[in-house]
Each structure stands twice: as C-alpha cells, then as structure tokens.
Amino acid sequence: MKYVVGYRPDERGADAVALAGVIARTQGAQLHLVNVVHGGKAADPDTEKQALAMVPKAVEATFSTRIAESFVHGLIDAAKEDEAALIVVGAASNGLFKRFTVGSVANGLLHASPVPVALAPRGYNRKDKLTRLTAMIGTREGWQSVLDVGATAAGRRHVPLRLVSVVELDQLEQTDFSLDNALSPARQHVNTVLAKAAADMPDTKVTVTLAHGRNIEEAVDGIGWKSGELVIVGSSRLAENRKIFLGSTANKILRALPVPMVVVPRDFHKQGI
C-alpha cells in the first residue's frame, strides 16, 4: 500500500509528513513524498534530503519532484500513477488551538480527489502510532463507504473503532420538542450500524457515541478526543461520483476537530486506507 504525501518545504509540508508517518506505521504502508513545482522552476537539491529526514525510520519512503500547473493536480496525478490509497496534506497555514482552517490546496483536493484525503492540523507532530479510529456515521447516502473504510482500517491496525453520529439540536423542529424525541432517529441508526459492524468485526472493539449539542461545534467538543485519534468522514451527497466534496456538516466537523481527519469520496470501494 502506498500513500502520496504533498510535501512543501514549510510548516504544512512538515505537518503532512508527520501525519503520513503515523498512519503508515500502523499499516506498513510506503510513503511517496511529492514536491510539486511549476514549469521552469528548478527543484532545490536539498529539498529531498530535508523531506526524507522527517520520515520515521520504521517507514519506507521515496521522494520525487513533479512539474505541474498546480499542487493539487500534481498530487492527484501522482496518486493515480501510484494507485495510492490516500493523499496526505497539511490542511492550513493558520488556525487557532490546532483547529482546522482549510487552505486552498486542501480545499482543491476535497473537490477533485478520487481517493481519500487526510488533513493534518497545523502543528501536528505526533510520533507514536494511532490509538483509535472514529468514523462519523450520518444518515445520508455515503455513510456505508465511511463505515467500510473505518472498519477495514481499524481491523488492519488492531485499534478500536468508535462510531459517532452527530445531532445538531438547533436545526431540529421545535414542535413537541424533547431531547429523547430529537435523538431517537439518530440513536436507532447508530445502534443498527453498530450491531452490523460488531458482527462483521468480531476481533475489533467497536463502540458507539451519539454526540449532540446546540450546534456541530458543541457536539464535537463534547465527546472527548485522544491525541492518537484519526477521524473518518464522508463527502457530500452532492459530490460527483467517487470524488470528494466536503458538505456543510463535514465542514463544520472539520473546523471543530482537534485531531486529523480523513475525507472519503462518495461510493469509494477500495479496501481501506
């Protein structure tokens, strides 16, 4: 298995390499660090050495410089050639408290990538392995792809899988409102999904969490996060088939998360990440 890592000689490049190394260590995947330059611009000969020096010793990695009109297209072309399972990038150039503010490269990938995209928060520097995967399981079309990727990834890495459904209470009808009534459809859905996942994954610890709050940010903040966690979400149902487009709910989740996130294209059927 191979992951393409969008490398730049800056903080975002370092964030991407760090996250890719953590994900690869628990999978035994190879990294391909790709430095995209515009036509006519010579690559710095020290860039390769600096980039590979950031990769954990236990992870196999290669480096290449690719000439392309844009960083996004260069990474997607490399992923297609490598038949990569994942593209990893630093999500942003700024942000408060290590939360996400999606930059132009990450945004471009989320609109065009045919494979999952992993987004590293600003300042991500974890060295240890992943400790848990969290799959955000909604009720809209596409949740099955998220579950499939999460289940396969957790099983391969022998880490627990947490299934989370988010309910934004401010968006619900207020007629005859009660918390139990508001949460009932989501609770039924996640329990059904949990039962299926547990049956399909007898060797993996699977738990379910129903997150609720007045808004997405409050719900996400309230469920607790581990430093070694990775979150998996699905793309919008409006996305072109097998390409990523971050919907409004996923975008809100992204901006509230304190941990890295992988966005899975709609109808993505490859075997995990």
Q: In angstroms, rounded to a whole number, what is the distance separating the alpha carbons of residues 254 and 121?
A: 10
- DSSP assignment of 142-160, as one string? THHHHHHHHHHHHHHHT--
Helix (H) or strand (E) holding 84: none
Tell the burial category of 242 from Cβ atoms under 10 Å away from its Cβ (0-12, 13-18, 19+): middle
Number of CB atoms found within 10 A of residue 162's CB: 23
Give the chain's radius of gyration (CA, Å). 18
Mean pLDDT for the stretch of residues 29-52:
86
pLDDT of residue 155: 87
Q: In angstroms, rounded to a whole number, what is the distance separating the alpha carbons of residues 91 and 23?
A: 16
How confident is the model over 69-90, as pLDDT tens digits?
889 999 999 999 999 999 999 8
Q: Which of 65-69, 195-199, 227-231 has the lowest mean pLDDT?
A: 195-199
Task: Identify the band that residue 96 occupies on the pLDDT scale cut at 50, 70 and 90.
Answer: very low
Share above pLDDT 90 across residues of the chain, in percent, rounded to a whole number = 33
How confident is the model over 176-187, as pLDDT tens digits?
556 666 667 767
Residues in CB range of 226: below 8 A, 6 or more apart: 131, 132, 259
Number of CB atoms found within 10 A of residue 91's CB: 30
Q: For the chain, list the strands marked E by DSSP.
A: 2-6, 30-37, 61-67, 86-90, 117-120, 132-136, 161-168, 206-213, 229-234, 261-264
Mean pLDDT for the stretch of residues 226-252:
71
How confident is the model over 98-132, as pLDDT tens digits?
455 566 777 788 888 889 999 998 889 998 989 99
pLDDT of residue 21: 96
Tell the burial category of 158 from Cβ atoms under 10 Å away from its Cβ (0-12, 13-18, 19+): exposed
pLDDT of residue 49: 94
CA-nearest of 156, 135, 155, 157 to 146 is 135
Q: In angstroms, rounded to a whole number, what is the distance separating the alpha carbons of residues 165 and 212?
A: 8
Tell the burial category of 21 from Cβ atoms under 10 Å away from its Cβ (0-12, 13-18, 19+): buried
Higher pLDDT, 70 or 142: 70
